[in-house]
Amino acid sequence: IVHNKINTLAMTTSSVLQKACKFGSKPDASTFPELLTVVTWLRIIIGAIYGVSLGIRNENRGLVGATLGLNVIAFAPMLYFNGYLMAYVDSYKNLRFVGVVNGLALMLLIWITFFTYAHSEEEMSMQKVLSDAMISSSEATESSTEGATVGTDEF
């Protein structure tokens, strides 16, 4: 039974990939319903690659990197399904932006991970500064409450 499921999955994956790679196939929601899943995975892969690129290049301009990443993740797959497949976009529900948030979230996660790993010294110094500030704040609070009177019920 397990062997049959694996063969069925392999055949299904193979047929979906064949449909996804066929130039000018002009799919619609009835002939290629898996296109939403394909585009979602394409955007996730683009997000992962772009996040690694930002992390390796040590990109530290957050708004620029995130905006360019959003544009690549959102619009590159549109070129694929409009220009390469020539899909009937209106037959699908939400094909234009399906998977954009997933790809953007993965891009940011990978970028932040690479950036944090590359800047561990700065992170440690910031942690020390914050820790020292919290300690001095708590010491100041304790010293200011020592001289206060406690328990008076006068109005």
pLDDT in tens, 43-91: 999 999 999 999 888 887 778 889 999 999 999 999 998 999 998 889 9
Q: What is residue 136's predicted lDDT score, i.e. its pLDDT?
A: 86
| Close Cβ partners of 41 (under 8 Å, ≥ 6 residues apart) | 99
Identity of residue 146: E
Question: What sign results for the dihedral spanned by CA atoms 24, 28, 33, 34?
Answer: positive
Residue 104 confidence class, pLDDT cut points 50, 70, 90: very high
0.85 surpassed by pTM: no
Residues 46, 77 contacting (CB under 8 angstroms)? yes
